[in-house]
C-alpha cells in the first residue's frame, strides 16, 4: 500500500468535495464547472485573476500577490490524484 500525501487545509476551505488532486508544484486542482478544472493559488487557495500590474499577468484573487499564469485558468496535469491524498482540515489556531 502506497503512503498517501498529506494535504492540510484551513477550516475555511469550502471546496473539499471539488478537489481533483495536486499539480507537480503541490497546488490544489479543483473541478470548475462541469468539464474544466482550476489551479488554486498556494498563498490563499483562491482562484487567480488577470492584472495588468502583475509580472505574470495573474494575481491571487484573495490577496493580489503575483502568481504563476497557471492560476489564471486552463487545465493543468494532475501529479497526485485525490485518491492518493490524506486531506486534513485544520481546526483551531
Write the pLDDT tens digit of every residue in 21-32. Answer: 999 999 999 998
pLDDT at residue 73, rounded to an integer = 82
Condensed to tens digits (0 to 9), the pLDDT of residues 36-91 reads 899 999 999 999 999 998 988 999 999 999 999 999 887 789 999 999 999 999 98
pTM across the whole model = 0.89
| Rounded Cα distance, 28 and 51, in Å | 22
Give every CB contact of residue 17 below 8 A, 6+ residues apart in sequence: none
pLDDT at residue 91, rounded to an integer = 86
- Cα distances from 76 to residues 33, 50, 71, 73, in angstroms, run 15, 18, 9, 9
Give every CB contact of residue 56 below 8 A, 6+ residues apart in sequence: 66, 67, 68, 69
pLDDT of 33 strictly over 80: yes
Query: Structural domain boundaries of the chain?
Result: 18-80
The grid coordinates of residue 14 equal 469550502
Amino acid at each position: 500500500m502506497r503512503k498517501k500525501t498529506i494535504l492540510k487545509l484551513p477550516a475555511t476551505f469550502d471546496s473539499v468535495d471539488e478537489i481533483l488532486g495536486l499539480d507537480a508544484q503541490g497546488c490544489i486542482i479543483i473541478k470548475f464547472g462541469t468539464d474544466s478544472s482550476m489551479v488554486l493559488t498556494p498563498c490563499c487557495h483562491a482562484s487567480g485573476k488577470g492584472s495588468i500590474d502583475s509580472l505574470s499577468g495573474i494575481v491571487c484573487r484573495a490577496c493580489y500577490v503575483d502568481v504563476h499564469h497557471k492560476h489564471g485558468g486552463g487545465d493543468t496535469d494532475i501529479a497526485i490524484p485525490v485518491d492518493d491524498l490524506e486531506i486534513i482540515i485544520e481546526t483551531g489556531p
